Amino acid sequence: MKNIIGIYTSPRGHWVGDGFPVRTLFSYDTMGKHISPFLLLDHAGPADFTPTDKRRGVGQHPHRGFETVTIVY
């Protein structure tokens, strides 16, 4: 049987670019000694945006080019 290494709560949400709010459930900063390969898990829940002509999104990003997997439930 595997041991539980910790119980973690999500910190306050933060914005990724100006495109969407997320909550980071775990990241390399918090779990880097315990997970391999490099892995992030963010939750991007429903969000309401007022209509605008301004483009939203993420430009240059620290992990641009990494493989992204989206789980929709």
Q: What is the pLDDT of residues 34-49, one digit of tens each?
A: 766 566 777 777 888 8
Mean pLDDT for 45-71 is 75
pLDDT confidence of residue 61: 67
Return the SS3 of 23: strand
* Domain boundaries defined on the chain: 1-43
- Using only C-alpha atoms, the chain has a radius of gyration, in whole angstroms, of 15
- Evaluate whether 59 touches 15 at the Cβ level (below 8 Å): no
Q: What percentage of the chain has pLDDT greater than the value 70?
A: 67
- Evaluate whether 45 touches 55 at the Cβ level (below 8 Å): no
> What is the model's pTM?
0.49
Alpha carbons 9 and 25: distance in angstroms, whole number? 7
C-alpha dihedral sign at 30, 36, 38, 42: negative
Whether residue 50 has pLDDT greater than 80: yes
Return the SS3 of 15: strand
Whether residue 27 has pLDDT greater than 70: no
